[in-house]
Amino acid sequence: MTEEVLAPAYPLFRRPDAYHQKRCASALRNRIQRWSERRALRALLDSAEGIHSVCDLPCGIGRSFELWAAAGLSVLGIELSAPMAERAERERAALELPGRVEIGDAFDASAAHGRADLVACLRFAYYFSPVQRRDLLAALQSRSHRYLLIQYRVGNGVLGRWKSARAVVRMQRRATRAKHACPWEEIRPELESAGWSVLRMRRQSPLSDRVLILAERSARKS
Ligand SMILES: C[S@@+](CC[C@H](N)C(=O)[O-])C[C@H]1O[C@@H](n2cnc3c(N)ncnc32)[C@H](O)[C@@H]1O
């Protein structure tokens, strides 16, 4: 497996066990976050008509594979880090989830890849600036027959403003790891200018600054 990096600088995760420990372990805060994320994802998945396959990009360790299995979907997992992809492939096999995991770059917009009915992009887009997100949204189009399910962070509200201020301080220390918030009212125009029509937007929970968005390829780009 080779890793060709087209993407703007963003760290590849190399320690699947550490990621699992951080995101899937049983600390109360993680459990609440996971529960609210899943609840919001299920609600949006229910609004997507006639889907049979999902492209999980980047899939990391396959954190969401259980959800795709429960929804009766097949998966095309894409991940640029080989150790993460290997762990995801093991997770897919253990769940008997139909599909495959491949090494690939989320920013690769070439036409020759596998596609799915829905592309899910979780815990990723908000690491990039608006200009970089435009390229990402275009690349995600090349993977989707119809739908996109993507997670943003909003800068509105007290919590959002506090997190945005904290991000600015962090960015001064380590430019590539800071998260970029996008105000709620700018999300729709940003997706629309990249060829996606927004169908639903849903905050992960009332206090969360994360928003899940279900969008559909707009007619002019399909
Ligand atoms: C924060 S994790 C999110 C993974 C998964 N979506 C989830 O929700 O658990 C981000 C992942 O993106 C991978 N990654 C970084 N740059 C990438 C790129 N250009 N293309 C594909 N994967 C990338 C990292 O190795 C890491 O596993």
188 is written with which tokens?
A: 């729709």
Q: Is 123 exposed, middle or buried (0-12, 13-18, 19+ CB in 10 A)?
A: middle
Q: What is the per-residue pLDDT for 29?
A: 79
Smallest CA-to-CA distance from 80 within 117, 108, 55 is with 108
Whole-prediction pTM? 0.89
Q: What is the per-residue pLDDT for 2?
A: 44
Smallest CA-to-CA distance from 208 within 162, 176, 167 is with 162
Q: What is the per-residue pLDDT for 12?
A: 87
| CB 89 within 8 Å of CB 101 | yes
Our answer on whether the CB atom of 13 is closer than 6 Å to any ligand 1 atom is yes
Alpha-carbon gap, residue 116 to 55, rounded angstroms: 5
Q: What is the per-residue pLDDT for 33?
A: 83
- Stretches where the chain sits below pLDDT 70 are 1-9, 26, 111, 156-168, 170-178, 220-222
150 Cα: distance to centroid of ligand 1 (angstroms): 13
Our answer on whether the CB atom of 80 is closer than 6 Å to any ligand 1 atom is yes
> What are the extents of the domains in the chain?
16-153+183-221
How many Cβ atoms from other residues are within 10 Å of residue 105's Cβ?
A: 18
Atom index in ligand 1 nearest the CA of residue 84 equals 27
Q: What is the per-residue pLDDT for 9?
A: 64
Q: What is the pLDDT of residues 120-131, one digit of tens each?
A: 999 999 999 999
For domain 16-153+183-221, which CATH number applies: 2.10.77.10, 3.40.50.150, 3.30.360.30, 3.40.50.1240? 3.40.50.150
Query: Three-state SS for 217?
Result: strand
